[in-house]
Amino acid sequence: MALTPDDVGRIAQLARLELANDERAAMLTQLNGFFSIVEQMSAVDTSGVEPLYTPLSAVQEVHLRLRDDAVSETGEPALRALNQRSAPVVEDGLYLVPKVIAG
């Protein structure tokens, strides 16, 4: 089942990407080219097979480690300044974005 131009528009919206018209046409061709090599996957019977989300679980039990929910980085506000030095727009330690709430 090939993707349509509408599908490409819908996926781009989900991905928060804006594609120019020529980009959109090329994307449609390339995605359909890609999904033609994916078809062979669906022919394989995988019933009863557990998905392998993380590779080491193929041979051992993998437990997700969680750290304590506590501040681990100290050194505010110097660290905050370091963290924000690559932010496009900051003011008083806050990240600025376009106005979201009308008023």
Partner 1 sequence: MKALHEMGVAELGRALDAKEVSSVEAVQHQLERLAAHAELNTVLGLDPQALEHAAAADARRAGGERSALLGVPIAHKDIFVTRDTPTTAGSKMLAGYRSPFDATVVARLAHAGTVTLAKLNCDEFAMGSGNENSAYGPTRNPWDPSRVPGGSSGGSAAAVAARLLPAATGTDTGGSIRQPASFAGITGIKPTYGVCSRYGMIAFASSLDQAGPLARSAEDCALLLGAMSGFDERDSTSAQRAPQDFHAQMLTPRDGASAAQPLLGLRIGLPKEFFPKALANDVDRAVRAALAELEKLGATLVDVSLPRTELSIPVYYIIAPAEASSNLSRFDGVRYGHRAAAHGDLEDMYKKSRSEGFGAEVKRRIMIGTYVLSHGYYDAYYLQAQKLRRMIADDFQACFSQCDVIAGPVAPTVAWKIGAKSDDPVANYLADIFTLPASLAGLPGMSLPAGFGEGSMPVGLQLIGNYFDEGRLLHAAHAFQRATDWHERKPAGY
Q: Is 70 in the site for partner 1 (CB under 8 A)?
A: no
Rounded Cα distance, 19 and 48, in Å: 40
Q: Is 79 in the site for partner 1 (CB under 8 A)?
A: yes
Q: Is 100 in the site for partner 1 (CB under 8 A)?
A: yes
Q: Is 18 in the site for partner 1 (CB under 8 A)?
A: yes
Interface residue with partner 1, options 4, 77, 82, 93 (CB under 8 A)? 82
Here the tokens at position 103 are 């008023």
Interface residue with partner 1, options 2, 6, 22, 52 (CB under 8 A)? 52
Q: For binding to partner 1 (CB under 8 A), which residues are involved?
A: 3, 7-8, 11-12, 14-19, 23, 27, 30-31, 33-34, 37-38, 40-42, 44, 46, 49-56, 58-59, 64-67, 79, 82-89, 95, 97-100
